[in-house]
Amino acid sequence: MAALWKMARLSRSHTFDVHRPRFAKLVEYSVECLKNLAVDEVSIEEMIDEGALEVLANVCKQNPYNEQIQKAVNQAIQAYCLNDYLAEKVGQKM
């Protein structure tokens, strides 16, 4: 019981930051998941409307020097540009 209490205190006392290298792979994986959700025009349009592009832009701003994350974000944005209509919509939101 004491160990659980200590872990709970420790987890509350530390704020986790995506800038830390140990979370870089987690961010890459999350961006990859957003890319893999782009299966058709309807799903992409819904993700754009729900703010997925803003999330990707925020990831870029928070990780400006991580090339792997930048590459993953670029691939996700490319996946969202399935056709001309969606590419125009992505361009307007960015």
Distance, in Å, from the CA atom of 10 to the CA atom of 32, rounded to the nearest integer, reads 30
Closest CA to 92 of 43, 46, 38, 54: 54
Q: What is the pLDDT of residue 72?
A: 95
Q: What is the pLDDT of residue 5?
A: 36
Mean pLDDT of 46-52: 94
Helical pair 67-80 and 24-36, crossing angle rounded to 10 deg:
10
Q: What is the pLDDT of residue 20?
A: 53
**Domain boundaries along the sequence of the chain:** 18-93
| Predicted TM-score of the model (pTM) | 0.73
pLDDT in tens, 68-89: 999 999 999 999 999 999 999 9
